[in-house]
Each structure stands twice: as structure tokens, then as C-alpha cells.
Amino acid sequence: MKKIKFYIALFVFAFTGFSSCEDVELDDFSNGQADFSTYVALGNSLTAGFGDGTLYRSGQENSYPALLAESMSFVGGSSDFNQPLTPNDVGGLTLAGNPLPGFDTRLMLQEGAGGALGIVNTPTASSTEVTNSVAGSGPFQNLGVPGAKSFHLLGPDYGNIAGLAAMPATANPYYVRFTQPGQSLLDAAMAQNPTFFTLWIGNNDVLTYAAAGGDADAITPPAQFQNFFGALLQGMTANGADGVVGNVPDILDLPYFTVVPTNPIPLDDATANALNAGYATYNAGLDQIVMVNPLLAPEVAQRKINFSAGQNFPVFIDDELTDLTGFGLPSIRQAKPGEVITLPASSLFAGGAGTQSPLSGTFVLSINELDEISTAINSYNQIIDATAASFGVTVADMNSYFSSISNTGITYSGADYSTTFVTGGLFSLDGIHPTQKGYAVVANQFIDVINSSYGANLPTIDINKYPGVDLP
């Protein structure tokens, strides 16, 4: 058990992001029953330090595993925590010099006409070239890969550059940058013979489905997730390593799914009347369908379009109801209270989406889709609890923790933080990933679990020292 001298701690804490040491005594810091000499973190974007829609250098430097490793260094952990760092804070990826579609530069706030703030991509071109491998600088203790699902951590070809050309892609460009040929992420972790690990995986197994409005990338079946998660823990604990696994937060609490209401467009009387006049022929066509087939009356009632002054329920394609195109009518309806419209839709309303034209179903989660998402998350977390217990590994209940933050926010050293988009301080501009301040909060949660589970006393992080959203 390693003990830190008081005067050393005071000096170090004064120049790092750790909490105040006013009450620290000689024996305050210890590793307990854990061995932190070789710490490896395995996971996805939440492990990598992803934020503002991309992976960028300062975000990586302040990723939760990097902060956790620094805390561990006070009690016997290595001071050399290696990460596959990007060149700068621009983010984005290029492939053979060309911007890689879907991997844009960092999001930023831009002040527009009348002082209104908008979200745009940083105009500076990306200098993170996928083919410029940094594998020679490894091994890397942070094995977080943005976009990774549970089964991706087991795939030996997930870093094979040839897979980027497949349709759909079978490789991940972030992993292509730093992998050894034919090495899975699990293999890369096990090769380092870790004494302690964190594993946080599973949110992408449902998030990609949710972020696409349920129209793409199916949810990983829980039975398959159980097999994948079991294989990951079997590998990570094979040589006796201790560790903590994070469970899956309720992604529907994230700003990406909470910012836009189902009635986001205010209408005056004249506009509402004009819209209703424009949909009168459509509504009359629905009445004709009922005359031909009375059994469709309940669904026809859901299809009626009626706007009223002061509010608007956006129209969107809904594939779950009966296809009416055979009757010469579009399959559209208005969103219902309780359904979810995702953050990217907010940029479309000014162009008439939701009123003059349907809002695509890729931006909307129906009640049935929301139920599928919640069911999957609950199943994953039951699997994580049971599997972790079978391998003697501790669980950090990130689901409950994020839910608490969503409901009440947190106060730290006199500063209040919440999940409120932009101004809350904890979530970045993509509405899904934490800010660097948010990752400090995550690191402290892992530290609390490690301290309580392994009898350790790791120093916590001063979250006030880390940035939230950069304002213009």
C-alpha cells in the first residue's frame, strides 16, 4: 500500500486538476487492495474523450481514463498513460487527403444575425489523416474507439483499412490510425497484461439506432450482447486483473433527445389557417378511405393534419402505420406527445420541414421505438450486472448517476452544472458526449466506485478546472 507525503501532495495538487488538499493527512492516499501499475481502458467514444462531434487532442488529454490514470499515479499507477492523440483540436478525419464523409471537424458556436447563436463545424481543415498510422507509438493504454459496439472490440479486422471501402464499412477509421494489423481491441488490451482495467461499452449498441430515428443500424440483440460482454470480461480478467465496468446510461436523457419538443414551431392564426387550407384536400382524401374501408378509421384519425395557432406538431413519415400510398396519399401524420424529435431536426424547421413538408422519420422516435430502446438498455444493464458479478468485477452504475444528474444537476465547490444543452456545462455541442468538464465528472464517479470497492483512496478531480462549452 503506497502512502503519499503531505507536502508532496500539496505541491502536486496546486498545479493539477485535483481537489483541494486542505484536509489531507499523511496516510490519506492509498491503492487499497488494487494494483494500478498497469491500467488499460477499453471502450468507445466515451472512453476516447470524444466531444463536439469529433475526437480532438485536448478532449483526449482530458478523457476520463486519462484523468483516472493521473489519479492512480498518486498510489502506484504509472505516470505514462499513452493515448493515440490527434494532432490538434480541429478534429475530423481525412483519408488519402480527402475529408472522410461523416467524420467532420469539431462543432463550435457561431454568433449570427441579431446575436443568435448557431452551431457550425470548425472551418479549419482536418489534419488527422487516417493512413498516417501512429501504431508505432504504442502500445496505447486508452483503447477507446468512437463508434465501437460491444462486438467491435472482439473483431480482428476492425482496424483493417480495406474495410473502410466496404458497404457498409467493416472497419473504423479511428482504430485504423493506431492498430497493429489483425489485432482486435481486446487483444490489444490483453497484450499489455493489465493489473487494472475499466470497460465501458454498450451505449452504441442502441445509440446508433436511436440517433437515426430507429431507421438504421438495428439494436444489438441482448442475447448476443451477453455473449460479447462475457467474452470481453473473460479476456480482461484472464490474468487476474481487477477492474470496473460502466453500465449503459439512459441515452434518452441526453440533450440530443430532449432539446427539441414535439411542438417546436410557433404559428400565428394566419399561418395556421393557411396550412390547414393546404392540407384540406389531404384530409378529405382520408375521409374517402374510411368510406371504402371502415377498418382503417382509427389509423385515418391519426393521419389527419390540423394546425392551431400558437403551436405546431411536426409532420413526418411514419412507416409503422398502414401504407396509404396505394390510395394516392402520402403516409404522414403529426407527432404525438411523448414521442421524441432529435436535435439535428432543429436546423430543418426554418426551411418548412414539419409544416410545409414532412419531417423525415430519421429525426423522430415513435412510442414503439422508444420502448424498444428502453427495453434494450434495461436488458444490457441486467446482463452487465450479472456478468460482472460472475467475474468478480465491480459495476459503476452510470445509468443511475446520469439519471440523477439529468433530474437535479450537480453542485461542485459552489458551481452548478446540469444537462441543459450548451449552458449546463456537462454536455458538448453534439448533445451526446460530455464536455471535458463532464468527463471530469465521469472520472470522479469511477474514482468513487474504485475507492468504495477496493478500499482505495484515490484523489478526486476538481471539475471546475476543466472547460465546458466554449462560448463565442
Same domain, 55 and 119: yes
- Residue 387 and residue 311 share a domain: no
Q: Considering the domain boundaries, does residue 264 fall inside one?
A: no
Are 428 and 327 contained in the same domain? no
Paired residues of 111 in beta bridges:
117
- 393 found inside a domain: yes
pLDDT recorded at residue 16 = 57
Assigned domain for 103 exists? yes
DSSP summary character for residue 311: B
Would 351 be classed as within a structural domain?
no
- pLDDT higher than 90, residue 425: yes
Flag whether pLDDT at 320 surpasses 80. Answer: no
The C-alpha atoms of residue 273 and residue 334 are separated, in whole angstroms, by: 16
The answer as to whether 235 is a domain residue is: yes
Could you tell me if 279 and 426 lie in one domain? no
Full domain range(s) for residue 253: 6-259+368-465
Q: Are residues 278 and 163 in the same domain?
A: no
pLDDT mean across residues, the chain: 92
**Is beta strand 142-144 parallel, antiparallel or unpaired with respect to 196-200?**
unpaired
Please check whether residues 285 and 307 belong to one and the same domain: yes
pLDDT at 217: 83
- Asked whether 434 and 467 are in contact (CB, 8 A), the reply is no
Confidence at 2, pLDDT banded by 50, 70, 90: very low
Note whether residue 292 is domain-resident.
Answer: yes
User: For the chain, how are helix, strand and coil distributed in percent, rounded to 5?
Assistant: 40, 15, 45
- 78 and 193, same domain (yes or no): yes
Rounded to an integer, the average pLDDT of 431-447 is 98
Report d(CA 29, CA 5) in Å as an integer: 9
Mean pLDDT, residues 292-297: 89
Confidence label for 5 from pLDDT (cuts 50, 70 and 90) = very low
Could you tell me if residue 289 is inside a domain?
yes
Residues 278 and 244 in one domain: no
Same domain membership, residue 86 and residue 149: yes
Q: Is the pLDDT of residue 210 over 70?
A: yes
Query: Within this chain, do residues 147 and 100 fall inside the same structural domain, yes or no?
Result: yes
Mean pLDDT computed over 203-228: 95
DSSP 21-50: -TT--TT--B-TT---SSEEEEESHHHHT-
Q: Would residue 356 count as lying in a domain? A: no
Question: Which residue bears the cell 404525438?
Answer: 336
Question: Has residue 430 got a pLDDT over 60?
Answer: yes
Residues 178, 301 share a domain? no
- Cα(195)–Cα(100) distance, integer angstroms: 37
**375 lies in the same domain as 232:** yes
Domain count for the chain: 2
Q: How many CB atoms lie within 10 A of CB 14?
A: 10
